[in-house]
Amino acid sequence: MADRPKILVTQQVPEAAYPLLEAVGDVEANREEGVIWSADELLQRAPGHDYLYCLVTNTIDARLLEACAAATPRLKLVANMAVGYNNIDVAAATRLNIAITNTPGVLSDTTADLTFGLLMAIARRISEAERFLRAGKFTGWGPLLLCGADVHHATLGIIGMGRIGKLVAKRASGFDMKVLYHNTHRLPAEEEQRYNATYVSLEDLLRQSDFVCLQAPYKPETHHLIGEKELEMMKPSSFLINTARGPMVDEKALVQALQRGTIAGAGLDVFENEPAVEPELLSMENVVLLPHIGSASHQTRTRMATMASENIVAHASEQRPPNILNPEALV
């Protein structure tokens, strides 16, 4: 009887993921809540496993992949419990015939919900107002108390009109917002009509939007997509929303723009050097900060977890993983 494959789960994940994995292999798992293995610890633990189940908090670089490819048994597949995969050196994995999978689609609606919630929170000063009340500062209603910005009929600019961007546009329709978008490729006319979205250049989007929402994938071309020059193009009354990836925004430039009043505020669920946050942001009232919870509903995280497991199960069963990113690595 052939040896059962060895599977390493790098961080605690929803319970539904484990039975699927245990049905096809021997599972070693980090089940300590909140514990994230360091790069060195991962390098020590991962080699000798057939499958690696990881999260965006794990850096799966060429050094780790090469060590895993040289070990016995050799690594066959990395299942990333996320839609984004900038934490993985996919090129190195492909060169080493290591398959990479992700969990697309399932988190789109949940992340769009959070995006719109963040937009509402910064526009209407919800977090600031709650802190004000909890601090005992609320002594009575006043006509100028914590006035914010209207969301209805405002102009929303979406950078990146993929799954999540389209769903954010769909939510904006309920607020009668004007939707502008910028994307690598223009959408077909019927999709533009469906989402009531108008294609514009990045520069026009920044200049015209009351809310600029980042939904593009992170890659070298989108690193610091929003920097000093782009922030200067935005309205002094506008807000920046980022629920995509932190390094798309030059955080130091953002701090300066907020301090100078170049823009009115920002809502951030992701950070350039996550989990570290620029210290100045922490003390700003015109910023809403969240700890990367875009997909954090029980239902969605459970589905993400089982989808990652299903990719491993498929490969272990000699089937094509449903969410393979580099099919050329399958041997």
Instruction: Give me the active site residues, please.
Output: 245, 274, 292
3-state helix, strand and coil shares in percent for the chain, rounded to the nearest 5: 40, 15, 45
Contact yes or no for 210/240 (Cβ under 8 A): no
- Which residue has tokens 């904006």? 172
Q: Is 26 helix (H, G, I), strand (E, B) or coil?
A: strand
How far is it, in rounded angstroms, from Cα 290 to Cα 287?
10
Provide the token pair at 122.
């910064």
Q: Phi first, then psi: what are they for 154, rounded to 5°?
A: -80, 170
Among residues 244, 242, 266, which one has the least CA distance to residue 255?
266
CB neighbours of 46 closer than 8 A, spacing ≥ 6? 8, 10, 52, 64, 67, 68, 75
Instruction: Say whether 237 sits in a helix, a strand or coil.
Output: coil
C-alpha dist (Å) from residue 285 to 113, 126, 134, 137, 209: 23, 11, 15, 15, 22
| Beta strands across the sheet bearing 211-214 | 197-199, 178-182, 155-159, 211-214, 239-242, 265-268, 287-289
Half-sphere exposure of 108 (CA within 13 A, CB side): 17
Q: Could you give the CA distance from residue 246 to residue 87 in angstroms, rounded to a whole number?
A: 12
Spatial separation of the C-alpha atoms in residues 8 and 176, rounded to whole Å:
48
DSSP bridge pairs for 182: 159
In 3-state terms, what secondary structure has residue 53? Answer: strand
CB contact at 8 A, 219 and 86: yes
